[in-house]
Structure 1
Amino acid sequence: MGLSERIDNAVMQAVATGQGGVAPRQLAEALRYATTPGGARIRPTILTSVAMACGDDRPQITDAAAAALELIHCASLVHDDLPCFDDAETRRGKPSVHRAYGQPLAVLAGDSLIVLAFEVLARVAHLDAGRSARLVLTLAQRTGMPNGICAGQGWESEPQVDLRAYHRSKTGALFVAATQMGAIAAGQEPDDWEELGARIGEAFQVADDLRDALYDSDTLGKPAGQDDLHRRPNAVSELGVEGAIKRLTDILSGAIASIPSCPGEAALAQMVRMQAERLIPVITPVAK
């Protein structure tokens, strides 16, 4: 089984758990709608790749961690798209959840995915209670306040914003969760993996800022120009297009250099390089 199939299976099994029993039909459908198609599933890919680089001695725990992280990410997209935030009509090339199912079910779908993420982690506690508890704590810290994605959304309501702090919370938090949770799932200490996750997260945020500024909605699969529309802080407005591209390149170089020593270090470095190549060529030709 390939890495992509492994992750998709883990996510779909988790969603099936949330649809079990005598569940409300529309809300159950909304859970699957919010998590498919999966897109790149970059966060669980990083998590699983780190776990594999560290030995992946408990693959069931790794799969649970990957699924939980992706559920949190999908929940954040459902909530981001709501009228009270971005009011986005599309996501991943199809109507956003609130457009397809209405605002009440979109709120409930996002909430249900968040709760389901922690249920998935609790269900593997019998395999290793210590790892399960650390995974729950790490994911909670990177989801809520003061440094998680909730804090990232909260920064958008502040009159003055520290761009780096904003990016660390809004985007970087779940990438740090990815690298640290991958290490935890494999029984390793997570602290050494924080820098790699932070650098990857910052790179993806800068790349997203560039796409938002330079691409149209059809290319993105979601509304473009949202940063300017909502007057959000972003790398392009702060640094200009060329400055943002330079920052992106520098961050990605630093990310590869920050990979801790581990048995699968070379393979992990190659994965990071592949992700870097997906970011830079997409943007550089447009910016010239």
Structure 2
Amino acid sequence: MSVEARIEQALKAALAPVVSPPKLAAALPYAVFPGGARVRPTILLSVALACGDDRPDLSDAAAASLELIHCASLVHDDLPAFDDADTRRGKATVHRAYSEPLAVLAGDSLIVLAFDTISRAAGLAPDRGLALVSTLATRTGAPLGICAGQAWESEQSINLSDYHRAKTGALFIAATRMGAISAGHDPEPWEELGARIGEAFQVADDLKDALQTEAETGKPVGQDAAHMRPNAVARLGVAGAMAHMQNILAGAISSIPSCPGEAHLAQLVTAYARRLTGQPATRPA
């Protein structure tokens, strides 16, 4: 089964028990399907595969839980209190489709469902399961997670690197660390890879927000300028942001730890790098 099929199957299994209340039960899959690129769970499973993936049911659950957290963050980010966005992934945001109260509850429910999903699979390898829960919690909350990243936008003085590392990098760090944990490997050597990919994706997002149209991105653009957020384009200019992203990605490839699937993983990261920098992508074999 392909990585993509494993992710979709695990997400459907995670959401299957939710059947009521009807509106909330409908809002949850609306927030998750159809998904975006599923980059974070793909990286998680790719790292797990590179490390042997000897507990695929556990790594599948980890991948689903990570994507559920990401989807929850998008639901909350789109709310009027934050971005007040009307569209996401080419369709109405959850609060526009189902109401603001249901969007808050849907985001909260997806977070809880993520931890329920990983905890149910933890019995397959309890030590790994506990480490997965701890890693996901650390990279979701404060001070190192996406909640902290969102909170940085309320501060008067912001370190752009710290902001990017928490807002976007946190779940990419979770992806590489959780992939290694799922396969029984030490997660520490994998943190730099996740941090670098996450920072590159945030710079790419800053560039898209500044340069692309809503039709191209599937969501509102110009949000950084409208909300006076720190971003790489404002700080470095378009050319400087592009060069910065390329440097980050080069470092990401060189940071991949030695493992049985190192070469294939390098191909995957290279493919992402080409896509982010606007070059024709060649899919890893």
Fold in common (TM above 0.5): yes
Structure 1 segments (4+ residues) deviating >6 Å: none
Mapped partners of 1:43, 1:146: distance in 2 = 20
Is residue 2:7 matched to residue 1:7?
Answer: yes
Letter of the 1:29 counterpart? A
* Unpaired segments ≥5 residues, structure 1: 284-288
Tell me the CA shift for residue 126 of structure 1.
Answer: 1.6
Alignment counterpart, residue 154 of structure 2, candidates 152, 157, 162: 157
Counterpart in 2 of 1:235?
Answer: 232
Counterpart in 1 of 2:127?
Answer: 130
Letter of the 1:271 counterpart? L
Counterpart in 2 of 1:198?
Answer: 195
Superposed CA deviations along residues 220-242 of structure 1, whole A, max 9, x for unmatched, are: 10000000000000000000000
Tell me the CA shift for residue 44 of structure 1.
Answer: 0.1
Mapped partners of 1:6, 1:240: distance in 2 = 39
Tell me the CA shift for residue 15 of structure 1.
Answer: 1.2
* Unpaired segments ≥5 residues, structure 2: 281-285
Tell me the CA shift for residue 142 of structure 1.
Answer: 0.2
Counterpart in 2 of 1:31?
Answer: 28
Mapped partners of 1:253, 1:59: distance in 2 = 30
Counterpart in 2 of 1:286?
Answer: none
Counterpart in 2 of 1:208?
Answer: 205
Counterpart in 1 of 2:283?
Answer: none
Mapped partners of 1:64, 1:138: distance in 2 = 14
Identity in percent: 66
Is residue 2:265 matched to residue 1:265?
Answer: no
Counterpart in 1 of 2:251?
Answer: 254
Instruction: Give the structure-1-normalised TM-score.
Output: 0.96
Letter of the 1:28 counterpart? A
Mapped partners of 1:127, 1:244: distance in 2 = 44
Letter of the 1:5 counterpart? A
Mapped partners of 2:153, 2:54: distance in 1 = 41
Superposed CA deviations along residues 92-132 of structure 1, whole A, max 9, x for unmatched, are: 00000000000000000000000000001110122111111
Letter of the 2:116 counterpart? E
SS at match of 2:154: coil
Mapped partners of 1:93, 1:28: distance in 2 = 21
Is residue 2:89 matched to residue 1:92?
Answer: yes
Structure-to-structure mapping, 1:136-151, within 5 angstroms = 136-151=133-148
Alignment counterpart, residue 277 of structure 1, candidates 247, 250, 274: 274
Count of aligned pairs? 280
Instruction: Give the structure-2-normalised TM-score.
Output: 0.97
Mapped partners of 1:51, 1:206: distance in 2 = 26
Distance 1:121 1:113, change over 3 A: same
Tell me the CA shift for residue 282 of structure 1.
Answer: 6.5
SS at match of 1:209: helix
Letter of the 1:51 counterpart? A
